Structure 1
Amino acid sequence: FLQHFIKILKAGGRAGVVIKNTFLSNTDNASIALRKQLLESCNLHTVLDLPGGTFTGAGVKTVVLFFEKGKSTRKVWYYQLNLDRNLGKTNPLSEEDLAEFVALQKTFADSDNSWSIDVQSLMASSQSTYDLSVKNPNKKDEVALRSPQEILEEMRALDEESAEILNSIAGLI
């Protein structure tokens, strides 16, 4: 899929591709080779890390890779989109959610949610797997746990959504 985009882009062509975030760190030979090809034949200038639930029904976390074909990658700028709410069918991603990303991406500025990595250091390591995982150096590894009340509210909302879907299916039968 990604390989096809790289192949069909002309020199100077730009793309933004939504892909599972596991692509950035998978250690199978195909993933490693594809990351190497991406870094060597394209300028992967931006990785946008999206929160879970951005794409309803996908069931996986996703990232958006922004790249331009023709020049190799020197630096990759990461932006980790952190929202204070859960995303879903009834609460989708909005333009406002992306405002900081859009503003910072113009200059690839560092912030609490954005940082850059030097690809030379990534490629120089022996047995490099070209791991491009999202690891925000500005955040501690602590995971903010949701309150039991928040979890119950989300479960109720999901139950209601499931009931609506089941009712609409039952109406079709």
Structure 2
Amino acid sequence: MTTTAPTKWDAQVERAAKARQDARAAIDAVRADTHLSVEGRTVQVRDIITQANATIDDAQVKYDEAKTVEVERAKRRVFTSFSIDTVTLRDAAMRAQETATEDEALRMFTTAERQGDKSLMRELAAVAIDRSWAELANAFQKAEPIYADDYEIIWDAAHDTSAIDVKHAMLIGMAFAHVTA
């Protein structure tokens, strides 16, 4: 499972990357200015770095906030049950947690889907995220396409360090790294 569409928090990564890029260009321009004294260049470079790092820090905070808010909204949309029968919900949660293998969970999911047991399907989808069971996660998205985008947001947030997301994680890490002289 990989997200191809930009997330609502990607704008902050771009904002931080642009602040770094603009700061680098401004620092190069200051260093190339022969009309400034060494002290004048030092002061201007320090000011550019301070301003860029403040923008990067702000983008990092807004990135974290936007990601947290969007993941929580997605969890509510996907995992909130409309059943008022707490015994059914508790039973579904317990049965899903007791699955030992993804194959067992897939068989249980297929049965739940056939019987229209949405509570069990959602609980199994939650277990798929916790245990990184991609096949089960894909089965949930296929069975419940209305929740596919939200589910993918939850999956991606839970698996930021997976091998699939290493390149993306590196880009984010670089975007939020401070500018130095």
TM-score range, shorter chain: under 0.3
More helix by share: 2
Ranked by relative contact order (alpha carbons within 8 Å, sequence separation 6 or more), the top structure is 2
- Structure showing greater Rg: 2
More strand by share: 1
Structure-1-length-normalised TM-score: 0.22
Structure-2-length-normalised TM-score: 0.22
